[in-house]
Structure 1
Amino acid sequence: MKTVCKAIIEDLEKIVNIDSEVIGNTSRRDYIENAIKLGHCIIAKEEEYIVGFLIYDTNFFECSFISLIIVSPSKRRKGYASLLMDYMMSTSPTTKVFSSTNRSNINMQKVFNTNGFIQSGIVENLDEGDPEVIYFKSK
């Protein structure tokens, strides 16, 4: 059974393990811990196992900004990113929600498009030669 809910501090190690599985290190541990404490981390579960998470903030021109969506590689293409985004849209503290991904990240662009996000701009010079595409959706 798939479920989505806000993360609690007891979930931290499992979330960091998923993040480390994807990026190869635990460098975002403090960032994830802070997001959990602020109530800005959402987790997707399969049965009782955490399989993915989403982190957002509200510092992007007073709008929600999804800064990170990570799904365990073994659980990708099973709808977990969409579940996380649906939950985010239904609970967002703002009516406008933004996010972004690199132009080279075709899979994430497909996730945004599938979930009704539209392109809203491009930011150059974050990653050399790979512009960041901004996405937007309104409640």
Structure 2
Amino acid sequence: MGNTVQFRLAHAGDLPALIDIDSVAAHDRRRAELLQHWVAARSCHLLLLDGHLVAYGVLHHHFFDSGFIEMLMVGAHVRRRGLGEALLQHLVSRCERPRLFTSTNRSNQPMHALLARNGFIASGQIDNLDPGDPEQVFFRPGVGAAQPAM
């Protein structure tokens, strides 16, 4: 494989490949339904490596009128190659609001490190989503709009 990286919005024809790379969707019907919803809503961004779908991210703008990265998924066979960071930077560049948030489980230390490297700071915690593993919320200024008055 070379190193040609491209980004585009997902379309319905991408659903089988999205399910294949998603570590949850293959055995969780609800995740597959969410993927279908994200694609229909035009909030699912794909990362293609040499023309092959290998990662996706979901960005929407209805979290307290701020951007929110709801999902960042890199196929297991291409992890630890910088693709998650490339996709995260792409999503940051597409944020249309002055604030951008995301979240991940406290136990997901690789994602914590990725977020820190890309200017995200801790911004709170949500309990009771996954027993014993709180959801950590992160923030960074968005790039798509003027900064809010403080």
TM-score (norm 1): 0.92
Unaligned stretches of 5+ residues in structure 1: none
The residue number in structure 1 matching 2:72 is 69
- For residues 26 and 16 of structure 1, do their structure 2 counterparts lie closer, same or farther at Cα, with a shift above 3 Å needed? farther
3-state DSSP class of the match of 1:78? Answer: coil
Counterpart CA distance in 1 for 2:135 and 2:78 is 25
The residue number in structure 2 matching 1:46 is 49
Residue 26 of structure 1 deviates from its aligned partner by: 4.4
- Which is helix-richer, 1 or 2? 1
Task: Specify which of 117, 120, 124 is matched with residue 120 of structure 2.
Answer: 117
Contact 2:59 2:95 in 1 (8 A): no
Between 46-55 and 122-131, the greater mean CA deviation after superposition: 122-131
The residue number in structure 2 matching 1:85 is 88
Q: Say which one has the larger Rg.
A: 2
Task: Specify which of 41, 57, 60 is matched with residue 57 of structure 1.
Answer: 60
Counterpart CA distance in 1 for 2:127 and 2:32 is 27
Aligned partner letter, 2:132 = G
3-state DSSP class of the match of 1:125? Answer: coil
Contact 1:55 1:66 in 2 (8 A): yes
3-state DSSP class of the match of 2:101? Answer: strand
Task: Specify which of 89, 112, 129 is matched with residue 126 of structure 1.
Answer: 129
TM-score (norm 2): 0.85
The residue number in structure 2 matching 1:29 is 32
3-state DSSP class of the match of 1:67? Answer: strand
Task: Specify which of 99, 102, 108 is matched with residue 102 of structure 2.
Answer: 99
Unaligned stretches of 5+ residues in structure 2: 144-150
Query: CA offsets, 1:43-100, max 9 Å, x none?
Result: 1111110000001222211111111111011111111111111111111122211010
Query: CA offsets, 1:1-40, max 9 Å, x none?
Result: 1122211222111011111xx1251421221111111110
Counterpart CA distance in 1 for 2:36 and 2:131 is 29
User: Structure 1 vs Structure 2: percent identity of aligned residues?
Assistant: 29
Contact 1:4 1:83 in 2 (8 A): no
Counterpart CA distance in 2 for 1:84 and 1:37 is 20
The residue number in structure 1 matching 2:16 is 13
